[in-house]
Structure 1
Amino acid sequence: MNPTDATQPSHAADPGAGHAAREGVGVLVVQRLSARLAGREVLVDVDLRVRSGEIVGLIGPNGAGKTTLLRTILGLVPRHAGTVEVGGTIGYVPQRHEFAWDFPITVEHAVRTGLTHRTRWHGRPPREHTAEAVAALDRVGMAALRHRPVGELSGGQRQRVLVARALVLRPALLLLDEPFTGLDRPTRDVLNGLLRRLADGGTAVLVTTHDHTAANTLCDRIVLLNRTVVADAPPGELTDPAVWLRAFGVADVGR
């Protein structure tokens, strides 16, 4: 039984991922993407590229379509128009409230749920899945807590478990939905360091956030989204107030 309704994608691993990391090629390429929810157009002509080794921050007002964009990339929301190309496996870190933290499982078990599509429904999971889960926990500094019930974790620890759950897939692309919400400054710094190390290792990272300060510090590029891409530039170049007003000045947008 999977304690979360966040579905893991079934993309195959990319045998050229190492070459992609060296060359910094586009791991994610979105072109003229449009999506509808309940008959309403939420995303319109979105163009976006994320390269290997790059951290891109996705910023916009509530209801701008940020979460919908991630779910469309994952294939959980159907495309109305446009294309999405991904050069490898996707790891997805949902918002913390989407995971059932009161489910009676350990930290290690929670991470193994990221491998559900590779586990037989009957019987124990393969031994290598345990090794993969422990290795992912070690990458986020949580291996020592592998046997602890998930319900006993702090907010920052829960966030790192969700990241490990995505990393167990060895993704070429990591999508994170509002990972900094509710975290204190030291915990945000730990998460920033982890994401930077992943990017330095060649992972492409796309993260939605309302924390402009964190985005300016962490991200190589910032994409301002309000149903469509309003601006796409390194943080130091997004200094025109008119661009931010365009991104945040429209109240009637899709969720």
Structure 2
Amino acid sequence: MENRPLILVTNDDGITAPGIRALIKIMNTLGDVVVVAPDSPQSGMGHAITINSTLYCSPITVDDGDQIEYSCSGTPVDCVKLAVNEILNRKPDLCVSGINHGTNSSINVIYSGTMSAAVEAGIEGIPAIGFSLLDFNWEADFDQAAEHIKKIAQNALENGMPSDVVLNVNIPKLRKEEIKGIKVCRQAKASWKEEFDKRVNPQGRQYYWLTGKFVNEDKGEDTDEWALANNYISVVPVQFDLTAHHAIQRLNTWDLHD
């Protein structure tokens, strides 16, 4: 009997989050699943790693299923590093991260712990996908996109992934019948216009809450933001080579030589 694919599952909302429980259920239909995920929420951690404190990683049983699970005290990237170097006896055939509670479209990919876990897997040469649902509600309905998630993951397993690329998949908050399909897109040019809500605690010390408004400056109809606004699931291929290749020629005109 042919061996089933080995699938690593992680996230940034924590191992008990409804999103990862839904993703585990889907991946169990495609392969042998090992879960290594944070023991507490790690949203917005980006590509942070633990270097100045002790890391713990222990077997855990959260709910029924054929998966093997580990709870990690570190960040999403720590989870992938531990899985690859300490837990698994071979590289997985696929790493999936999520399903995130909330969007990771456009510039949010930079801050995302969900996507950083996928990027870390990509750095290790593992095909990787980050999944996010545009619903921050802890009781969000993750089943509405299960068939699409399975289709994307199955294609990655069967067709492979472009070298040094991972996928950022965002799913609109819609009923299953309202989703029009899947669009491969580019990342929209958008940003957060941040504000800080400054307050004073009972001891008289100032503290801050980060707030802000998301501003989409991109009017293109080939972006993830356009796809999501028009009831499509967006799939953005993300590279972790951050070199701005188009700028090299211009920088070579600077007087940088002795």
TM-score using structure 2 length? 0.32
Larger radius of gyration: 2
> Quick check: which one's helix share is greater?
1
> Quick check: which one's strand share is greater?
2
